[in-house]
Every structure is written in C-alpha cells, then in structure tokens.
Amino acid sequence: MITEKNKKTFILKKLEDWNQVIKFMIPKLKPGMIIALSGPLGAGKTTFVQHLAKALGVKSTPRSPTFSLLRTYKVRAIHELPLRRLLHVDAYRIEHDHDLMPLNLEEELAEPGTIMALEWPENVKKWLTRQPNKKIFLKISIDKKGNRFISYSVIPAKAGI
C-alpha cells in the first residue's frame, strides 16, 4: 500500500544534486531495508550508491557490481544509524530469479545492521516481492537535456517483521 506520505519526486540538474535525495533518505534507513534502483543504462544508479556510501561513512568508493554481482562495504559508525554493512547488488546480468540463489541474499540481508541497494530490480521482481523487508523504490529517468527525475516511494515491511 502506497500512501501519499510515502511518495516524493526530486529533480536533479547536476550530479551533486544527488545529495538532496541522500539527505532526505538517510534518516529513514533501517537495517534489513532494500533500496531498489531502477532506470535506464547511464541513469546514475551506481552514482547514487556512491553518494549513499559516502554519506554512510564507507571508506572506499563503490564500483559497478555488474560483473561481480555483489559487493559488500563496511559502514563506519559516524552517524546515529544502527547500520554496519551496505550490500550493493546488481541484477543486470540476472535473467531468472533463481539465478540469485547462489548469492544467499536473504542470509546476507539478515546479518545485523545490513541494508541493500539493488540495481535492476525488474530482473528479479518475483524474488523482491517475496521479501518481507521494507523497500524503498527509486525510479530514475532522464530527459534530453540531461535532467534527472527521481520518484521515491516506500513499501512498508510485511507484518511480523
């Protein structure tokens, strides 16, 4: 169920503007949460994760996980959030949900203080729907002038979580 309270749109004119999205999102982040990032190639999904990682106090700069499928980053306690790990998952090369099995994502996500940023969630729709976790959807689109439109929506956790 999506209420109006759980929706918001951002317009970004340059890459630094990602910080307004991050600022808005940071207080809402909780362990076990999945941030689903959709948008065409070159939209800036990995760039968003780089900004997020920086804000969370990750030492290294996340690189594209397309080839490796999964990268894990340690989150330093420079903020009030109870977060310890950032998982960066890329389903770009995944064709079927069962291809995710070897990654043990459920177990990884269950580790204390873990949040996941997931690129190309449309490739693993079934898997994502099955997860009871709270989800944030960021849909990125670009117009011809290079302006980015980010639509933010939240799907609350299913009962029992």
Partner 1 sequence: MSRNTSKNLRILAIETSCDETAVSLVDFTKVRNFAKIRNHTIRVIKNLVSSQIPIHQKYGGVVPEVAARSHVPEIVSLLSRVVKTPLRPPYQGGQKLPPDKGEFERASAARTGFGFDAIAVTRGPGLATALRVGIEASRVLAFLSKKPIVGVNHLEGHLASAWLNATNRKHWKFPLLALIVSGGHTELVLMKNFCDYKIVGQTRDDAAGEAFDKSAKLMGLPYPGGPQIAKLAKDGDRNAFDLPRPMLKDPSLDFSFSGLKTAVRNEWLKLFPSVIPAEAGIHPMDPRVSVRLRPRMTINDFAASIQQAIIDVLIEKTMRAAKQFTVNGILLVGGVSANEELRRQMAERIKKELTDVAFLPSDKKYVTDNAAMIAAAGYWRLMKGERHDWKKMDVDPEWNV
**For partner 1, which is the closer residue by CB, 3 or 67?**
67
Instruction: Name the site residues for partner 1 (rule: CB under 8 A).
Output: 40-44, 46-47, 50, 61, 63-64, 66-70, 72, 93-96, 98-99, 101-104, 142, 144, 146
**Selection from 21, 3, 25 nearest residue 13 by Cα:** 21
**For partner 1, which is the closer residue by CB, 42 or 156?**
42
**Selection from 117, 21, 115 nearest residue 65 by Cα:** 117
- CA dist 57 and 159 (Å) reads 31
CB of 70 to partner 1, least distance (A): 6
Contacts of 26 (CB under 8 A, 6+ apart): 55, 56, 79, 81
**For partner 1, which is the closer residue by CB, 6 or 64?**
64
CB of 144 to partner 1, least distance (A): 6
Q: Which two tokens stand for residue 19?
A: 């910080």
* Rg of the Cα atoms in the chain: 15
**For partner 1, which is the closer residue by CB, 4 or 122?**
122
Q: E strands of the chain, at which residues?
A: 7-12, 34-38, 70-74, 85-90, 114-119, 135-142, 148-155
CB of 149 to partner 1, least distance (A): 15
**For partner 1, which is the closer residue by CB, 4 or 107?**
107
